[in-house]
Each structure stands twice: as C-alpha cells, then as structure tokens.
Chain A
C-alpha cells in the first residue's frame, strides 16, 4: 500500500488539518515510512483471534441514569475562545 499526494490530501481533510499543497509530498513520504513499518503485522497469524476490546477482563461499571451535575454554564464557557450570551460562538455554518 503506497500513499500518494491525493491520499495524503484526503487524510488531511478527514482529520480537519490544513496542509499546504507543497507539504503534501513529504507528508505522503512519512506516511509510507510509518505504514511500511506497520506492514509487519501481516506476518502474524491472527486466524481465530478476537480483537482486544479491553486489557482487563472487567465489566465496565454502570451507574444510575441520573443527572450528577449541571448549572455550571459559566465554568463550561470559561475557556471558550468566543462565547456570547451563554453560547459557544462559531463562524456561520449555514449560508
């Protein structure tokens, strides 16, 4: 599997990271180095092996489905780059 410039651009788009056009070939090259390293996994016989879900054989805890906090609007918004009238503010989403 070899990653070309177009695939690198597609991955950058999926990851929502702006990558300038002239940086794409080097990025594709780095991906190929890393993926080349990962390819070793194809040597392993994984027939009949279940993919690991949890490293400890423990059931996730459950709790009552009740509200445990809230009424902390100021704290929630305190670190927002742009908060107005009790909301997170973002650029226009719909034309």
Chain B
C-alpha cells in the first residue's frame, strides 16, 4: 500500500484515469506515511479530513471522465500560502492562531483542478532562511543522511518542509516559494526537482509576502515531468495581483520532447567560485558534457555583475520585508503581546513584534528599516536597485547573443548538518543562495534538477536558468538533463 506514495504525479494521474487506483486510496496511503514521519517535522498542520473529502470529490470527478491532470493528486502546501480556515502561519509565532478567511490564488487553482491538500508544510519563518532553522515549529529534517552517520541534516530552506515531504514520499508534490533560492536550494539538498517560474507567472495573491519584487511560487516534485504538470495548474493571470502576467500559459508537459539539438547552453565563468568543492565542480562539468552529448552547443559566457547579486539582494529583500512585515502589529490578525498596566499602542507594537518575530526576521526587518531610513536610502537602497538593473542587463545581453539556457550548480555544497552553521555569522548562511539569487533579481525562470551524489552519499543539484516566459523550453532542457543524468537515488528510510 505504501508504494502508492512513491508514484510520480504523472503515474498517479494515469492510474487514476485508468481506474487502477482511487484518490481516496492514494490519500490514505499518504496520510499513513505522514503519521509515521513526525521525525522529519515536515507537516506542521495536518488536514486529513479535508484531504479525504477532497479525494472523494476528485474520485467522483475522475469517474465522470472529465478530470484535469492534478485531479485527485495529494499535495503538501507550504505554510506561507493562505488556506481558508486552516492555520497559515508562515512558520511565525506572530501569526499564531491565524486562520485566513480566504484562499491564495495558487492553492485555489490547485484545488479547483481537483488536487488534495494533506496539510501545511514547515519552512523558515516568513521564508527567511536557508536551512529551515528559523521556524517556530522547529527544524524540518532532511530524509537524507551521510551514509551511516545519523547526524540530522537540513533539508535546506526556506521551503524545507516541502522538500523533505516530497523526498520522503509523504506526498506526490508540494508547493514552494522562492525569493532568493527557497525552492531550488532545498530541492537540490533533497534530490528532488523544483522550478521557480518567471516573476509574474504565478499570482502572489494570498501568499504571505516577504519581498514582493522577488517572491514567486512554484512546484517541488519528484521529476521534471511532474514539475511541468503541477506548474501548469499553478500559473496564469490573476487580476488580484497587479504584477501577474496577462500571458497565455503554454502546455508545459507537451514541450517535453527531450530534444535539445542545436540549443545554446551558456556556462558563466563567474559561477566558478573560489573554494568551490571539487565535487560540485565535477558535477557541473559532467552536466555540461551531458548537454553537449545531447546535441546542445556549449558556449562560455560572462555575467560580470554576479558577485554583487548577494549584497544587492541583502539590501532589497530586507527593505521590502521591513515594509511588508509592518502589517504585523497585533491589531488585525495573529498574536498580541500581553501588555502591562498603562502600556499604550506603541508598547503594544514593540512588545508584539519583539515576541512574535524570531531573531532572523527581526534582524532583516531592522536592516531593511536602516537601508530605507532618511540619509541612507540613496546610498543603500537606490544603489542596490541600480546594481539589480545591471545584473538583469547581464542576462539580457547573453540572451541577446542567442543563449537559450544557462547551466550552473544549484548550491555551493550538499546539505549541511542542522546547527552546524549556528556559530557562523549571518553572511555565511546567506552564501547558500549565491547561485540562485541572481535569477530572482532578474525575474527569470530557474529550475534545480538532481544530478548526482557526493562521496558522503548526499544528493547534488544542477540549475538551469531560462529566458523570461520560456518555462516550456527550460523544462524541456531540464528534461534532457534529467534523462542524461539518470538520477534515481532515494534516501534510505530511518524515520
């Protein structure tokens, strides 16, 4: 029975349509896997009743013969998505008890397509982190371990619960969000596939905002085909998000031919970082060779402002966060601190935000406040926005030269141990996003594909970056890479 949870979305869809399995059976299998996986701390709010109700409705729809691809597929939803009547806390104490009266556009679209919600998934608080260690729910744990060593490892972040849940076969797919790498880095750390689409592809409405000019939702799945199927159901124009793109959404799955003959794949020299582990270097070289063998043309390219992406990000993202998180004031939703006799409204704000926000969130809100404050706005915020324009221009220039996609490592290392970075300064943790953050700043689509294991037996991922709005082509290139890499490893079950 538990093998049902190992199905890909595509396999499950075909079995559901053929009548070989029902959504209720699939959903029950996932629920029992989730019940046995508390050690991973991936699902933080379980919704089995909702899931079974959605599943039986999906079964009725499937037997009616008119069901979309996602109909009856059990998913996990990142806690950042507002789901009606179900706790939606962004892994923060300040949203304790918050049950939205509305549904995010992305989750709404998935449920409209018949998808089933198993529950809400762990993440870094307000999506600020690269290891899932800033969550009010405690750490999510990577199902992967270093050989026989039982040191608990991070599943990455911020979508750490989503990554752990998909890698451990607790669900068939999960939603993630990506502001600086929060889909692609955890996907790489857990041996799964994750795509961040072009900025504007997925509506941000109803997703708790972190940095509005960078945030995008995307699917986290077991393979590239599933990413294509699930992304299809998530994106599309939404009048409720003014930055949502009013563009037709192509058939992503139909684009998966695996034929990349004649495609130009750029290899950016600036991504060859000093001190990069030899294994990452080798993975990248192997991936390049695979693309070449598949008939692509490999082109050395330069993205000269790459080095400045992380510092620009750590101005822009905190600035936008400080503004977005101003709404958590203890008045309209979530938690209000206990006040002392005589406390006024200012004390209410200050105490509520001090006890409601965790350390990393407080730090970023305050950095954002500082870079936007009078006297520093030009020196920091405006300068960062100018550098951002140059970073985007770097990409525009290589695409204008005819480059179809760019191949890079997804992360500078494999998954590290939980707590191992606790002594490091915040900048060390930020370096996790060094290969992914440029993509958010330029608004481009990026996908992480598992491509191999390191010598400790941990998965490593490669990233492909595509032209804006060309997710279909990017997914096809990723599909060719996936086929060539032949990655099939799964974590040994210890939980």
Contact = CB atoms under 8 A, between A and B. Distances in A.
Interface stretch (B28-36, B46-54, B130-138, B330-338): B330-338
A30 B305 contact: no
Contacts of B200: 56, 58
A27 B366 CA distance: 10
7 contacts: A15-B365, A30-B426, A34-B314, A41-B384, A52-B386, A55-B199, A80-B331
A91 B348 contact: yes
B273 to A, nearest CB: 15
Residues of A contacting B: mostly? loop
Contact of A11 (B213, B369, B380, B468): B369
Interface of B: 97-101, 198-200, 213, 239, 242-243, 245-246, 305, 307-308, 310-312, 314-315, 322, 326, 329-336, 339, 343-351, 353-354, 357, 362-363, 365-367, 369-371, 373, 380, 382-390, 392, 425-427, 430, 441-443, 468
B390 A46 contact: yes
Sorted nearest first, the 10 A-B pairs with minimum C-beta distance are: A55-B443, A51-B385, A81-B336, A79-B333, A18-B350, A18-B354, A46-B386, A75-B101, A16-B349, A52-B389
A61 interface: yes
A66 interface: no
Contact of B366 (A17, A44, A52): A17
B354 A56 contact: no
A6 interface: no
Given A15-B365, A40-B307, A79-B334, A49 B315 contact: no
A44 B308 contact: yes
Given A15-B353, A44-B308, A56-B245, A80 B333 contact: yes
B444 to A, nearest CB: 9
B211 to A, nearest CB: 12
B82 to A, nearest CB: 11
A16 B345 CA distance: 11
A27 to B, nearest CB: 7
Contact of A14 (B246, B334, B369, B386): B369
Contact of A50 (B100, B354, B389, B425): B389
B425 A33 contact: yes
Contact of A49 (B311, B343, B386): B386
Nearest to B237: A61
A93 B335 contact: no
A38 B16 CA distance: 52
A17 B350 contact: yes
A49 B389 contact: yes
A6 B442 CA distance: 36
A87 B353 CA distance: 22
A79 B365 CA distance: 23
A37 B312 CA distance: 10
Nearest to A53: B385
Interface in A33-80: 33-35, 37-44, 46, 49-56, 58, 60-61, 63, 72, 75-76, 78-80
B315 A38 contact: yes
Contacts of B97: 79
Contacts of A43: 308
Nearest to A92: B344
A27 B426 CA distance: 12
A11 B373 contact: yes
A52 B336 CA distance: 37
Contacts of B351: 18
B242 A41 contact: no
Interface string A22-33: 000001001101
A61 B427 contact: no
B131 to A, nearest CB: 17
A16 B337 CA distance: 13
Contacts of A17: 350, 353-354, 357, 362, 365-366
Most chain B CB neighbours (cut-off 10 Å) among A34, A37, A79, A80 = A34
A37 B311 CA distance: 6
Contact of B312 (A12, A41, A55): A41
A78 B308 contact: no
Given A11-B369, A14-B373, A31-B366, A90 B305 contact: no
Contacts of B339: 91
B101 A79 contact: yes
B158 to A, nearest CB: 18
Contacts of A21: none
B89 to A, nearest CB: 12
B390 A31 contact: no
A79 B385 contact: no
B134 to A, nearest CB: 14
Nearest to A61: B242
B383 A79 contact: no
Contacts of A90: 331, 345, 348
Contact of B370 (A11, A56, A79): A11
A15 B326 CA distance: 8
Contact of A16 (B98, B346, B367): B346
B314 A37 contact: yes
B332 A15 contact: no
A76 to B, nearest CB: 8
A76 B102 CA distance: 10
A51 B311 contact: no
B336 A49 contact: no
B384 to A, nearest CB: 6
